Amino acid sequence: MNVSEKFYLGLDVGRTIRGALVSADGRIINQQKVIAEVSDPRIFISQLIAVINDLRRSVETQGRAFAVGIGWAGLVNQSAQRIEVMPNMIDLSAFDLHDEIEQATGLPVVFDNDANVAAYGEWRCGAAQGFKDVFFISIGTGIGAGLILSGQLQRGSRGFAGEFGHFKINLDGLECACGSTGCLETLASGPNIVRRVREQLFSDPTFSVSRLAMDMEGILTCERVFQAAMERDQLAVGVLKETAKVLGAAVASVINLLNVEVIVMGGGVMAAGDLILRYIRKEVQKDAIAQAQESCAIVMAKLGQDAGIIGAALLARDTLPE
């Protein structure tokens, strides 16, 4: 047994804290999942430290963990390595978490946005491997993105680049969690796809079931809607096409703006696979400049939910001193 093997820790932190111990070539060796305790920052921080310490101890006989990468479901100030906002979750802005985790674990730590680390994972060992100009999109409860240009992860001046979910798609649209209105997220995120189905199903408020319909959280899910679309339910197919239309328009804008080589699409909503991807490609064909789209592939992500933990670990591998 090679006792000097190098490992890296990757964490993907949202309502669930996912952590993994990853080999230097991007394989998950061991992983842990914990529901985040968001009511108390101190408990939350101790949960994170416990996940890191448990995972690193699990390979002590084989080698050593060298560094930790953490992707956060929020805005991370890159230069200060501080969490500025974790929407609808927990306020960590008053804590110097970076220093605290480094001190508690004795390991160097790097913070980034969750979509950035997932993009990094797909780029290093997933669907975008070998490309230099990549736009990664994750569509789930929210919509995030990560951008790689000329072989470099781009974060913008302070780390807030890639907020693709907040592209304004509808000038008269719904209020968004970001404070603006009509964002892509208000139409194409998982919960908003479900909302649109509900609105169509129960558009006539005189039915007494209409009120019951508002209480269908957890029963009517995006997954079920797209399953119904696969079984050719007309309403579900309509909602899926409409979703592909807005996503396609936004993706076309990205292609026009950045002339990337590949768009990688992941997240729970894209579990509908080819069914939705086909329509997105069609929309892009209509909306993007021909020369830019001809040289751009639109593909499904490969790593699924593991993109974030693998990407965070590999980001730590590539950016932190040993």
Distance, in Å, from the CA atom of 247 to the CA atom of 281, rounded to the nearest integer, reads 10
Question: Applying CB under 5 A, does 317 fall inside the site for Zn ion?
Answer: no
Distance, in Å, from the CA atom of 23 to the CA atom of 251, rounded to the nearest integer, reads 33
Query: Measuring CA to CA, how many Å separate 264 from each of 30, 122, 299?
Result: 26, 8, 5
Q: How far is the CB of 251 from Zn ion (least distance, A)?
A: 17
Question: Applying CB under 5 A, does 196 fall inside the site for Zn ion?
Answer: no
Place of tokens 């592909």: 244
Q: How far is the CB of 222 from Zn ion (least distance, A)?
A: 19
Choosing from 16, 88, 170, 180, the residue that interacts with Zn ion (CB under 5 A) is 180
Beta-ladder partners of 239 = none
Nearer to Zn ion, 124 or 166 (CB): 166
Per-position b or e across 206-217, b if 16+ CB within 10 A of its CB:
eeeeeeebeeee
Nearer to Zn ion, 183 or 269 (CB): 183
Choosing from 17, 29, 68, 183, the residue that interacts with Zn ion (CB under 5 A) is 183
Nearer to Zn ion, 165 or 311 (CB): 165
Nearer to Zn ion, 46 or 180 (CB): 180
Place of tokens 């509908």: 272
Choosing from 153, 176, 222, 298, the residue that interacts with Zn ion (CB under 5 A) is 176
Place of tokens 């649209």: 173
Nearer to Zn ion, 88 or 180 (CB): 180
Query: Measuring CA to CA, how many Å separate 297 from each of 133, 135, 145, 259, 300?
Result: 11, 10, 16, 11, 10
Nearer to Zn ion, 182 or 308 (CB): 182
Choosing from 89, 178, 275, 300, the residue that interacts with Zn ion (CB under 5 A) is 178
Residue-level length of the chain:
322
Name the one range near Zn ion by CB under 5 A: 78-86, 177-185, 265-273, 305-313: 177-185
Nearer to Zn ion, 16 or 180 (CB): 180
Name the one range near Zn ion by CB under 5 A: 114-122, 153-161, 180-188, 277-285: 180-188
Question: Applying CB under 5 A, does 166 fall inside the site for Zn ion?
Answer: yes
Question: Applying CB under 5 A, does 16 fall inside the site for Zn ion?
Answer: no
Alpha helices by DSSP H, listed for 180-232, are 185-188, 190-201, 209-213, 222-230
Question: Applying CB under 5 A, does 245 fall inside the site for Zn ion?
Answer: no
Place of tokens 């996940």: 51
Distance, in Å, from the CA atom of 304 to the CA atom of 316, rounded to the nearest integer, reads 20
Task: Answer for the pair 112, 238: CB distance below 8 angstroms, yes or no.
Answer: no
Name the one range near Zn ion by CB under 5 A: 63-71, 121-129, 163-171, 284-292: 163-171
Question: Where do contacts with Zn ion occur on this chain (CB under 5 A)?
Answer: 166, 176, 178, 180, 183
